Structure 1
Amino acid sequence: MAGIEVRRAGRGDIADVVRLRWEMCVEQGVADADDQEGYDRYAAALHDFLERWIDDVQCRVFVAVDEGSGKRVAMAALWLWPVLPWPGGLAQWQGHVTSVYTIPGYRRRGIARRLMGAVRDAAAAHGATRLVLETTPMSAPLYQDLGFVASRIVELRLDSAEDRD
């Protein structure tokens, strides 16, 4: 797509990644756009987290940049983690895709598809043999078109002491 650059995010992109992720959380109903105190706590925690991880080989955050304005308009994150080999899969890496988000004015332009291509390429280059992600009803058709299929994964959410405060 002309005019949109997809690239790996660096330290100079952290503030924009924080903003994009907050906007995603607001849109998904897990954050209140008017909660400045909540945003400040969230932004500080995510900023510190990204300062630690954004350059790590196991963390790949990608951004889409409008080349005309320089604005970061979309993002996606990939976490690579080692897994125990098993007879059906001897490779030792899998990927978890998260925070795939495009701001509303840039949707339906193929940006998320390009971000997912960058994620897939990075995972494959690292030797990962599987990608997993959570989806929303709005994004499910994209992931199905990219070859993702429903699986048997289930989850148990554990509350940490920090989350209960």
Structure 2
Amino acid sequence: MEIRLANQGDIDQLIKMRWDFTLEDYPEMGEGVGYSSFEKECRGFLESALESGQWFVWIAENEGEIISNIYVELIHKVPRPGRFTHPFAYMTNVYTVPEYRGKGTGSKLLSRVNEWADEMKFEFIIVWPSDTSIEFYGRNGYKQCTEPLEKHF
């Protein structure tokens, strides 16, 4: 298994993984939406994101097949006098294909993302876990916080 940052050549597989990830939990979301229209929108996002320097897509690959991915967006903070300001990271779209779950694949990938975030001196990583993934994040050093507030529209 190789763990690396995704590149433009990985886009087709990443699109299919995003489609599969969504329909696995929300099959109704595929109804009335053709794959080709989703593919076009997702391709535009990924092409832009991978070139932006703001998004980083980490992948675990086995014999040329992407088996797990984690998307990380950098959030830059407003500078503060007397203190060097480091960005924080928003982690999303954490997905491992079903055949590789329970084998340490996701944990190995997340561990590499954590090492990278530490090397880059990010202040913290934030993730909104599903109910079923809370244990996974806990095993990998994440804990629930109570500070953020949110407003839904």
TM exceeding 0.5: yes
1:112 maps to what in 2? 106
User: What CA distance in whole angstroms lies between the structure 2 residues aligned with 1:78 and 1:91?
Assistant: 18
Structure 1 position 56 matched with structure 2 position 55? no
Matches within 5 A, 1:17-36: 17-29=14-26, 32-33=29-30, 35=32
Structure 1 position 8 matched with structure 2 position 5? yes
Structure 1 position 82 matched with structure 2 position 76? yes
Which blocks of at least 5 consecutive residues in structure 2 are unaligned? none
SS in 2 for 1:63: strand
Matches within 5 A, 1:68-79: 70-79=64-73
| CA-CA distance at 1:155 after TM superposition | 2.8
**In the TM superposition, what whole-angstrom CA distance separates every residue of 1:69-115 from its partner, at most 9, and x where no partner exists?**
x211111111111113569x853310000111011111011111111
2:150 maps to what in 1? 155
Which structure: greater helix fraction?
A: 2
User: What CA distance in whole angstroms lies between the structure 1 residues aligned with 2:112 and 2:80?
Assistant: 27
| CA-CA distance at 1:119 after TM superposition | 1.7
| CA-CA distance at 1:120 after TM superposition | 1.5
**In the TM superposition, what whole-angstrom CA distance separates every residue of 1:107-145 from its partner, at most 9, and x where no partner exists?**
011111111122222222322110000111221111011
User: What CA distance in whole angstroms lies between the structure 2 residues aligned with 1:33 and 1:121?
Assistant: 36
TM-score under structure 2 length normalisation: 0.86
SS in 2 for 1:55: helix
Code of the aligned partner of 1:133: V
Q: Comparing 146-155 with 102-111, which one deviates more in the overlay?
A: 146-155
Structure 1 position 65 matched with structure 2 position 61? yes
8 A Cα contact 1:102 1:111, kept in partner: yes
User: What CA distance in whole angstroms lies between the structure 1 residues aligned with 2:92 and 2:28?
Assistant: 17
Which blocks of at least 5 consecutive residues in structure 1 are unaligned? 159-165
Code of the aligned partner of 2:110: M
Code of the aligned partner of 1:155: E
Structure 1 position 47 matched with structure 2 position 43? yes
2:86 maps to what in 1? 92
Code of the aligned partner of 2:5: R
Q: Percent same amino acid among aligned pairs?
A: 24
